Every structure is written in structure tokens, then in C-alpha cells.
A and B are shown apart, each in its own frame.
Chain A
């Protein structure tokens, strides 16, 4: 163990120093798993909205008894030693509790502050007003309506939409709107790397700097080896979140499953398809990653004994649709109803004219109307809307 880590423990034990962490993470359980894995024994706050407005991390900060910053950035053992040893004026008694959650909104709060409050502290609201996430989305939306260049409100609107998409209260289009807002925010503040990472998390594999959540499996393994039970995740990292930068040779063209559209269409539909494209604006020659969230809902079931779920598209000259090699494994049970995610990438030709580009994709699947009910092999088409923009922010 490096010497400074030992020192930190010693200082904390001797009550000479309080160590507090603030983690940039939109999923609280993932932060808890990280804390458990790394055995962090100090309070760990979570800043999903990037309220502290750091553009890059890690950033350690030494703050004295008066709340004054004494050092920012790289800190050596010697820095710590001198910081802890320095005398300062005596102060009053320090409360034992770290704090309680704010019960009320600050007076004369702006729309953005109101959105923050609902997102972080709001309890479930009335059916008329919607949930706390609805209220966060609505208030951030009002902030953006007032000032379309309010980059922080745009980013936070994206976070709230993504959180709502991952909740039972999801509304159609939430996943795509989240990415749209993040890209607008990043265009206004290209130096914001924490925001950039949020887009890369769901974006094309070739533009990813590294595998963001490969540590999750490693953490679970090590935690189990210690005889503990890993914190369970509400939203499991998937696809682009757990795949690192991938060579272009690892992609294969998307297969053409039903080019003549002979399969019957899922008119009901028995499966709800939510499409999100990251990033939604690409430069000519650029890539976008398509993520499909397929939900059989409360009544339908996947038929796992028949042909598995397939993704395809209607080819357009010059555009390529590519998927990484490999096939998803299906559950062992004959009928299940879990939501499924499928991903592939679109490559826009270098000569593509600026403007909107609408492509059509489709999924084909074996689905049953109820458990033990009639099962059919159906097709559902979906539009994929991207904007070719030579000035689009590069997500690298």
C-alpha cells in the first residue's frame, strides 16, 4: 500500500483529517458497488448532475477548518503532512451528522435549481403533477425554453430524461431526447469531458477512449472472493457501456433478414421498440450507434424456442450498417418477458450532403400473446433519424 494511503488512514483515525469523496456517476448503485469493491471507508457523495461543475476528474482538494481551499490537484504525502500539522484558529463544535436532505426548495429558485431539487430530493409526487422525475424534466425544460444556451440545464435535462427512461415511468422518446440534450450541451461546452463521457458511454465503439464499465465484473468477482455479496445494480451496464474501443475489422454488415417485407407486421404491437441514436448529429463519414430497447410489456412473452430476435435494415446507397460479431444468448426458459437491448452502428458516407437522413430498420422476433398463448414470428419497422452536419461536435 502506498505510503500516502496509510497516512490517510492514520490521519482519519486520529481525527486530524476528514476524507470525503464525490463521484461523477449517474447510477447510484454502480457508485455503491465501486465503493464496496475499493473498500472506501469514507463518506461518498454522488453528483449525477455535475452540480460541482468539474470538467475533468480526478481532482483532490484540501480544505481547511474555515472552508478555505489550501491546495488543488496533485497532493504529495508531504503536502498532507504539512496541511494536517498547520495550526488554525479554534472553531465551534462540529455537528455529528453530515446533513439531512433539504425538505424544501430554496426561495426564489430558478427553473434549473427547481429541476435539481426534484431530481435529487423530490419524493414521488401526485398523479396530477407527475413523478419527481417528470417535475425535474419539466423544470429543466422550462430553463432551456428561457435560454436555449443554458448548457448546464441541457445536460441535466439529459440526465433526468435518461433516469426516467430507466424507470417504470419511462415515456416514448426519453432515451433519444437525453442524448439530443447531451450533444447540444457539449456543443456549447466542448471542453466538458464529464459530459462528453456520458455520450461516449452509449456511442460508437470506435470513438470510445476505453471500456467504461469493465470493472463491474472484476469488482463482483473480487467481492465474492472476499465472502461478501456484491451490491446489486438496478440498471445493468450493457453493450457499448461494457465494450471497449473496437477495431473496424471486428464489425460485420447487418444481415438482411426480410428484404421483401414478407413477414407479418406486429400491429398491436406486442413488443414496444424504443430507438436511440448516439450521437444524433454526425459529420460526413462519421458513425452513430443505434440502441434498441425492446420491451414485451405486461402481457407478451418472448418465444425462446423459436427463432431468436434479429435486427436488420433497409439498405441505402453509401450508408453502412454494422454490428460487432457475436450472438446474444437466450434464457433457458421457453417463454420470458425481459426487456432486451440490441445495438449496431451506422456509418454515414463521406460525401453525404448536410441535412436530415432518415433510414428504416426493423426487428423480427418470435413473440407470444400471453404465457402459453398464440406465438407468432413478426416484424416491426422503426425509423432512424440522424442529421448529417459538417460542424457537428466530434465525440472523441
Chain B
């Protein structure tokens, strides 16, 4: 696991070039979840430099959220 995390984003291996863009119908209620087409659950966590990160403050921006481990 660490070896992969060491070289961050090495998971970006070229696979299928297709991007399936989830486009919910107007007025459709989106579910909260971590799957494609769902609204990613909001979270608030401390940052390593003593700050705070709340995901919802990034609304309006395109985000690459990268989960990894340092070990």
C-alpha cells in the first residue's frame, strides 16, 4: 500500500479513455455517497499544517480528492 502511495497518483494508470459524466435529470434528488453520480459526503477534517478542510467549501470548483496512506 505504501509503495503505491509513495509515488502519489500512480493510480492514474491509463485505462479506458472514456469518462462517464454523471448528469442527473433536472429536479432529480441526488443521493449522498461515494459512488459515481452521488453527491460526495461533506466532511470536515484537520489539515496537517494546523488548518481545517471542509469539502463543501470547494463547491463551484472541480476537485481531485486523493485518499492515500503515508505508510
Closest B residue, CB atoms, query A29: B48
A46-B48 CB under 8 A given contacts A21-B66, A67-B56: yes
| Residues 45-66 of A contacting B (Cβ, < 8 Å) | 45-47, 51-52, 54, 56-66
A52-B8 CB under 8 A given contacts A58-B68, A86-B21, A98-B57: no
Q: Which of A44, A54, A68, A102 sits near B40, CB closer than 8 Å?
A: A68
What are the interface flags for B35-52 relative to A under an 8 Å C-beta threshold, 1 for contact and 0 otherwise? 111111111111111011
A contacts with B, residue count (CB < 8 A) = 81
Chain B residues with Cβ below 8 Å from A16 are 62
Closest CB-CB distance, B36 to chain A, in whole Å? Answer: 5
Contact status A98-B52, CB under 8 Å? yes
A73-B11 CB under 8 A given contacts A28-B48, A35-B48: yes
Q: Which of B6, B8, B13, B63 sits near A63, CB closer than 8 Å?
A: B63
CA separation between A8 and B63, bound complex, in Å? 11
Closest A residue, CB atoms, query B15: A74
Which of A208-216, A247-255, A322-330, A351-359 lies at the binding interface?
A208-216
Chain A residues with Cβ below 8 Å from B13 are 74, 76
What are the interface flags for B7-40 relative to A under an 8 Å C-beta threshold, 1 for contact and 0 otherwise? 0111111111101111010000010011111111
Closest B residue, CB atoms, query A61: B65
Closest B residue, CB atoms, query A121: B46
Chain A residues with Cβ below 8 Å from B44 are 99, 101-102
Contact status B62-A84, CB under 8 Å? yes
Interface flag for A126 (CB, 8 Å): no
Q: Which of B3, B55, B62 sits near A83, CB closer than 8 Å?
A: B62
Contact status A65-B68, CB under 8 Å? no
CA separation between A45 and B55, bound complex, in Å? 10
CA separation between A303 and B56, bound complex, in Å? 56
Contact status A69-B40, CB under 8 Å? yes
Closest A residue, CB atoms, query B35: A69
Closest CB-CB distance, A160 to chain B, in whole Å? Answer: 15
What are the interface flags for A130-153 relative to B under an 8 Å C-beta threshold, 1 for contact and 0 otherwise? 000000000000000000000000
Interface flag for A235 (CB, 8 Å): no
Chain A residues with Cβ below 8 Å from B48 are 23, 28, 31-32, 35, 44-46
Contact status A23-B70, CB under 8 Å? yes
Main secondary structure of the interface of B (DSSP, over half): loop
Chain B residues with Cβ below 8 Å from A98 are 47, 51-54, 57-58
A17-B62 CB under 8 A given contacts A57-B1, A101-B52: yes
Interface flag for A78 (CB, 8 Å): yes
A75-B20 CB under 8 A given contacts A22-B65, A52-B67, A63-B63: no
Contact status B63-A58, CB under 8 Å? no
Closest CB-CB distance, B16 to chain A, in whole Å? Answer: 8
Q: Which of A4, A30, A54, A120 sits near B45, CB closer than 8 Å?
A: A120
CA separation between A205 and B63, bound complex, in Å? 39
Chain B residues with Cβ below 8 Å from A91 are 59-60
Contact status A46-B60, CB under 8 Å? no
Q: Which of B15, B42, B46, B62 sits near A46, CB closer than 8 Å?
A: B46
Interface flag for A385 (CB, 8 Å): no
Closest B residue, CB atoms, query A64: B62
CA separation between A101 and B49, bound complex, in Å? 13
Chain A residues with Cβ below 8 Å from B33 are 69
| Residues of B near any A CB (own CB < 8 A) | 1-6, 8-17, 19-22, 24, 30, 33-49, 51-71
Beyond A8-B9, A30-B70, A46-B46, list 10 extra A-B contacts (CB 8 Å).
A21-B65, A21-B68, A46-B48, A52-B43, A60-B12, A61-B40, A61-B64, A63-B40, A68-B39, A83-B62
18 contacts between A and B (CB under 8 A): A18-B58, A20-B66, A21-B68, A24-B69, A25-B71, A38-B8, A44-B49, A47-B67, A58-B5, A58-B67, A58-B69, A61-B34, A64-B62, A67-B39, A67-B56, A69-B38, A78-B17, A197-B71
